[in-house]
Amino acid sequence: MIIVMKRSATDQQIDAVVQWIESLGYKVHLSRGTERTIIGAVGDQRGKENLRLVESLPGVEKTVPILKPYKLASRESKEGNTVIRVKDVQIGGGTFVVMAGPCAVESDEQMMESAYVVKKGGADILRGGAFKPRTSPYSFQGMEEEGLKLLKRAREKSGLPIITEVVNPADVDLVEEYADVFQIGARNIQNFALLKEVGRAKKPVLIKRGMMTTIEELLMSAEYILSSGNSEVILCERGIRTFETATRNTLDISAVPVLKELTHLPVIVDPSHASGNWKYVRPLAKCALAVGADGIMIEVHPDPEKAFSDGKQSLKPEKFYELMEELRLMEKFIMKETVVVQ
Ligand code: PEP
Ligand code: MN
């Protein structure tokens, strides 16, 4: 349930409401907007009749039940959009953020070269997987901690923040030491133990829609992280599995405006895993900008033919530079869709 405070509500009145809600066993999520404070009370539905009595406390304007199953992710629970700050980068703040880099960290040379290219092209965040969730146990599984160390070195050299995947709840602390943003991959989107663990961490989390996950299920996964205490969640549409076989997955571009309507969280698009083919990355990346996404995540490799994973969908440096130029040009002419679709 949402408790909307009066514009005139004092800090003491807000504190009193928070204490009262907590005494009923609910978790409190405070959202101090420019206009007024909204207090989310999340917990067991059974006590909701008692909770409604909060309306009689001073400073409370009204209570509003959140009808959606994803309470904290829902637009109802927050005024405006969530903007996530990663060093100097703002995700969800109106500029189109580009996260780029190789699928996997493969060697010192490959990672330093990738960082150089990504930085030169003007990307905001460097990606690279040290733990790789692979369909086959015989495929390259990632360099693990060694890979994290290379990512750290790449960050030092390029100045770019790092996003990297965590696949195991037991590795969350380790990955947190190195990463600026956690990535939860499509295959782990309903690994609830992992979601709760990153929910307790202190770094933002990008979650990728699973190939068989509905938009509502994706938002429920975000809810696991939010309700565990981490309010910094970024959603990523990376293609879903359909009957179509011409592309690796089918990019569900309509997920972007749908998510923008339903949630205050930033939404980005991954055209590399969606298409599985570098040739389609450029048009789909431009499409993401046009449709109102907050950014993209793309795979770029200094030598895709030699990549240990996802070489087919990775852009060569020259192609990446061309795309970045086009995106920056487009960004000047496209009005950012920040208004919620009614
Ligand atoms: C990746 O980003 O390299 C990856 C494994 O992506 P996904 O989880 O979307 O398949
Ligand atoms: Mn990949």
- Residue written as token pair 């939404």: 267
Encode pLDDT of 225-243 as tens digits. Answer: 999 999 999 999 999 999 9
Distance CA 219, CA 215 (A): 6
Summarize pLDDT for 281-304 with one digit per residue, the tens.
Answer: 999 999 999 999 999 999 999 999
Ligand 1 pocket mutation, candidates 114, 187, 188, 238, criterion most atoms within 8 A of CB: 238
Please tell me the class of the 84-341 domain.
alpha beta
Residue nearest to atom 6 of ligand 1 (CA): 185
Q: Which atom of ligand 1 is nearest to the CA of 188?
A: 8
Query: What's the gap in Å between 337 CA and the centre of ligand 1?
Result: 26
| Domain-wise residue ranges, the chain | 2-65, 84-341
Cα distances (angstroms) measured from residue 300 to each of 5, 65, 286, 323: 48, 45, 16, 11
CB 110 within 8 A of CB 135: no
Distance CA 257, CA 32 (A): 25
Q: Which ligand 1 atom sits closest to the C-alpha of 297?
A: 2
Q: Are 231 and 203 in contact (CB under 8 A)?
A: no
> What is the CATH superfamily name and number for domain 2-65?
Phospho-2-dehydro-3-deoxyheptonate aldolase; domain 1 (3.30.70.1140)
pLDDT band at 42; cut points 50, 70, 90: confident
* Contact yes or no for 198/166 (Cβ under 8 A): yes
In one-letter notation, the amino acid at residue 254 is: S
Q: Is ligand 1 within 6 A of the CB of residue 264? A: no
The two three-digit tokens of residue 119, written as one number? 């930085």
Ligand 1 neighbourhood includes 71 CB (under 6 angstroms): no
Confidence (pTM): 0.93
Nearest ligand for residue 249 CA:
1
Which tokens go with 85? 């700050």
The two beta strands, 181-184 and 162-165, are parallel
